[in-house]
């Protein structure tokens, strides 16, 4: 059975895109997938849910709310949380009502930018009036053509204010999915232009950096390893979790060596040799050296070193040396810690790359 929780969250995310970015509403398929993953859902169930969310138009990169969702917007039910500004909605109706009364229905129009500036002059926030206009256009209460706005459905006369319609409904509709989606949508849209990686999760974000680092061909390998780590259970497969987490730590540090050497880091002679000779212990130590310019701080280094010791369980010879009486059992909490270490180390690498960006390819 389809997970209705995910579908409801993603539908709410599309609605929230109107509140966050009224001049460019909608979300790309990848942005919706990021929101689903950030909310804690797995890749497969998110992809399945996305087939039931929104509508796509040929040549338009973003998915927008589906028609059956938008039909509910015209009722102006009281909602909690509420992201629409009813003063802004009323202002739109009032301006067009005045035009209708003074100019007649055929000429009851107003240019969008003029309406926005008039609202701002009346102390309505610019963003809120833009949300109100886009909302009403998408809900087919208004028609916008060449930036000219008019009421839809001519012949209906003067319209009742949205706030009056809302007051007629006594029951407040709780919208927990919208409350959950809003900050996720706000974050993913902000990442379109604020210089941060598109993905908020460090393991996903690092995949974006591989091309700039000159390792585009390893992106699929990286994402497959990340996917396997996420699907592994600290309770049932703790060793697999630890090994995969360590592999990602080692890989992230390996992929920055060439760039870091150009920035004065990782200057040891060993990094002039074939990468197959590099050891994770040395990579961690090198990443933590260099004072303020270091990739890792001491706390990250210590956690990474603990992860390395856990990872050595896959080497029988190392266990014979370190645990002659037999190794202790690997507990689920240690596996969960391994995942946390991978996140912390890769986030530190991303932070370092932001301060020391690779040259544009």
What's the rounded mean pLDDT across residues 73-80?
88
- pTM above threshold 0.95: no
Q: Residue 218: is its pLDDT beyond 70?
A: yes
- pLDDT tens digits for range 150-182: 999 877 789 999 999 999 988 899 999 999 999
Question: So what's the pLDDT on residue 235?
Answer: 86
Q: Residue 1: is its pLDDT beyond 50?
A: no
**Placement of tokens 């509420």 in the chain:** 82
Higher-pLDDT residue of 326, 258? 258
Q: What DSSP line would sit under 115-171, residue for residue?
A: HHHHHHHTT--HHHHHHHHHHHHHTTSEEEETTEEEESSTTS-SPPPHHHHHHT--S
What's the rounded mean pLDDT across residues 281-294?
91
Least confident of 11-20, 57-66, 140-149: 57-66
Q: Residue 360: is its pLDDT beyond 90?
A: no
Question: So what's the pLDDT on residue 195?
Answer: 66
Question: So what's the pLDDT on residue 40?
Answer: 83
**β-bridge partners, 150:** 109, 143
17: pLDDT confidence band, cut at 50, 70 and 90? very high
* Percentage of residues of the chain with pLDDT beyond 70: 97
Q: Residue 2: is its pLDDT beyond 70?
A: no
What's the rounded mean pLDDT across residues 78-89?
95
The order of strands in the sheet holding 109-111 is 109-111, 148-151, 142-145
Mean pLDDT of the chain: 89
Higher-pLDDT residue of 235, 222? 222
197: pLDDT confidence band, cut at 50, 70 and 90? low
Half-sphere exposure of 335 (CA within 13 A, CB side): 20
Closest Cα to residue 89, out of 20, 137, 143? 137
Do residues 239 and 310 touch, judged by C-beta distance below 8 A?
Answer: no
Do residues 66 and 54 touch, judged by C-beta distance below 8 A?
Answer: yes
Question: So what's the pLDDT on residue 196?
Answer: 66
What's the rounded mean pLDDT across residues 231-254?
92
Question: So what's the pLDDT on residue 73?
Answer: 84
Closest Cα to residue 149, out of 103, 95, 69, 104? 95
**β-bridge partners, 112:** none
Q: Residue 226: is its pLDDT beyond 60?
A: yes
Closest Cα to residue 344, out of 280, 298, 292? 298
Residue 156 three-state SS: coil
The length of the chain in residues reads 361
Closest Cα to residue 36, out of 185, 174, 179, 175? 185
**Placement of tokens 């990468």 in the chain:** 275
What's the rounded mean pLDDT across residues 27-46?
86
């Amino acid at each position: 059975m389809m997970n209705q929780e995910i579908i409801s969250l993603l539908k709410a995310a599309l609605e929230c895109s109107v509140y966050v970015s009224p001049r460019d509403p909608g979300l790309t398929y990848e942005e919706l997938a990021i929101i689903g993953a950030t909310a804690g859902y797995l890749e497969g169930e998110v992809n399945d849910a996305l087939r039931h969310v929104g509508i796509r138009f040929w040549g338009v990169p973003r998915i927008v709310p589906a028609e059956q969702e938008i039909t509910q917007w015209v009722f102006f039910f009281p909602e909690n949380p509420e992201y629409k500004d009813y003063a802004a909605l009323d202002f739109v109706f009032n301006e067009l009502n005045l035009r209708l009364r003074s100019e007649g229905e055929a000429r009851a129009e107003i240019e969008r930018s003029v309406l926005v500036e008039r609202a701002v002059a009346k102390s309505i926030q610019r963003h809120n009036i833009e949300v109100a206009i886009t909302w009403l256009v998408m809900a087919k209460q208004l028609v916008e053509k060449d930036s000219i706005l008019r009421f839809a459905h001519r012949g209906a006369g003067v319209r009742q204010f949205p706030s009056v319609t809302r007051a007629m409904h006594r029951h407040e509709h709780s919208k927990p999915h919208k409350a959950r989606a809003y900050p996720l949508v706000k974050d993913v849209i902000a990442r379109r232009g604020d210089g941060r990686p598109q993905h908020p999760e460090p393991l996903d974000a690092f995949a974006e950096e591989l091309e700039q680092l000159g390792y585009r061909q390893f992106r699929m390998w990286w994402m497959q390893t990340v996917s396997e780590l996420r699907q592994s259970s600290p309770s049932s497969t703790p060793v697999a979790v630890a090994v995969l987490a360590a592999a990602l730590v080692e890989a992230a540090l390996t992929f920055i060596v060439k760039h870091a050497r150009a920035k004065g880091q990782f200057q040891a002679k060993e990094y002039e040799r074939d990468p197959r000779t590099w050891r994770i212990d040395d990579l961690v130590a090198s990443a933590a050296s260099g004072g303020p310019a270091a990739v890792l701080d001491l706390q990250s280094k210590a956690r990474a070193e603990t992860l390395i010791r856990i990872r050595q369980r896959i080497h029988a010879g190392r266990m014979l040396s370190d645990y002659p009486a037999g190794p202790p059992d690997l507990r689920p909490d240690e596996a969960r810690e391994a995942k946390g270490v991978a996140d912390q180390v890769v986030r530190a690498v991303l932070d370092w790359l932001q301060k020391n960006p690779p040259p544009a390819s």
